[in-house]
Structure 1
Amino acid sequence: MTPAPLLNASFAVQLHVATVLPAAILGAFLLARPKGTSLHRLLGKIWLALMVVTASSTFFIHSINLVGGFSPIHLLSAYVLFGSWQAFAAARRRDTAAHRGHVAGMYLGGIVVAGLFTLLPGRLMHTSLFSEVSLWQAAVTVTLLAVLLIAATILSVRQGRLFGRSKSSKRLA
């Protein structure tokens, strides 16, 4: 593992990584904890702000240049910006089902799925994390990480934690 590729990356990439890593951790914490508490509301606002900065920063990153400097990942960024507004608006109007749906979609799509794609060979995060290991070791590590994330998501859904089917989840404001 070496931080050199990240340290030599553009400011937009550094900002993206600096906001997406705490968003990933904070988002997992929020999804696992009781919903509707004052702590949930405070940390949720911080998480949404991190997601907006993360998504916005991608519009200045053009490493996969398919159409006019943009790639399919930029569609996901647009979804996260739209979803952030929708999640906030749903929370304000106390529409817990819509709020949960937008937040879960942004976390799973914007952090988990997009995060796994950053670990593919040739990508900056792959180079930073796996530069000193073989391609085989990196592939096994990424596969195990994907399996763990998918299993954790399925378990959270089954236990009602991801979509908050507990008493405290009915109270959003």
Structure 2
Amino acid sequence: MSLAPLLDASLAIRIHAFSALAALALGAVQLAAPKGTLPHRAVGWSWAALMLTVALSSFWIHEMRWIGPFGPIHLLSLFVLWALPMALWHAHRHEAALHAKGMTGLFYGGLVLAGLFTLWPGRIMNQVVFGG
């Protein structure tokens, strides 16, 4: 395991990856912690900011191109940019079940599942975890 491939990557990739890793760690804490508390709200806003950073930074990453400069990661990013405000809106309206469903979906789909795809051979995170 070596961070060298990630540290040698473009700034957009570094921002994207380190924000995603931070969101993964913070999200795991958030899922395990008590809900509806002041710390839950504070950590939640931090997590939402990280997810926004992950989604937006992806638009400067063009490693996998399908249509012009865009690839499958950009579809996921568009979904996050829609789903994140929706989940926050549900929290604002005290619709706890919808808020929980949205945030849990973003965590598992937008971070865990997407993160597994970064381990695909030839990808930078594959080189970080398994070596080049």
Which TM-score band applies after superposition, normalised by the shorter structure? over 0.9
Structure 2 residue 3 is the aligned partner of structure 1 residue 7: no
How many Å separate the matches in 2 of 1:3 and 1:97? 38
Deviation per CA, 1:49-97: give whole Å up to 9, x if none.
Answer: 0000011100110100111111122111111111111111111111111
Distance 2:79 2:102 in 1: 10
Matched, 1:77 2:77: yes
Q: Distance between the aligned counterparts of 2:101 and 2:7, measured in 1? A: 35
Counterpart of 1:89? Answer: 89
Which has more radius of gyration? Answer: 1
1:54 aligns with 2:54: yes
Instruction: Tell me the equivalent position of 1:23.
Output: 23
Identity across aligned pairs (percent)? 47
CA–CA separation in structure 1 for the residues paired with 2:116 and 2:51: 17
Aligned: 1:105 with 2:89: no
Q: CA deviation at 1:7?
A: 1.5
Gaps of 5+ in 1: 133-173
Instruction: Give 4+ residue runs of structure 1 displaced > 2 Å after superposition.
Output: none
C-alpha distance in structure 2 between counterparts of 1:52 and 1:7, whole Å: 21
Tell me the SS of whatever aligns to 2:25: helix
Cα distance in 1 for partners of 2:91, 2:77 equals: 21
3-state SS of paired residue (2:57): helix
Q: Which amino acid aligns with 2:28?
A: A
Task: Give the letter aligned to residue 117 of structure 1.
Answer: F
| 2:41 maps to 1:41 | yes
Task: Give distance in 1, aligned partners of 2:56 and 2:42.
Answer: 21
- What displacement does 1:18 show? 1.6
Q: How far is the alpha carbon of 1:13 from its aligned partner? A: 0.2
Aligned residues: 132
1:120-153 Cα offsets, whole Å, 9 max, x none, are: 1110000111116xxxxxxxxxxxxxxxxxxxxx
Give the AA of the match of 1:6.
L
Q: Please state if 1:63 is matched with 2:63.
A: yes
Residue-by-residue CA offset, 1:25-46 (whole Å, 9 max, x unaligned): 1101111111101110110000
* CA RMSD after TM alignment: 1.0
Q: Deviations over 1:2-40 (max 9, x none)?
A: 222111111100001121111001101111111101110
Aligned partner letter, 1:18 = F
Find the counterpart in structure 2 of residue 118 from structure 1.
118
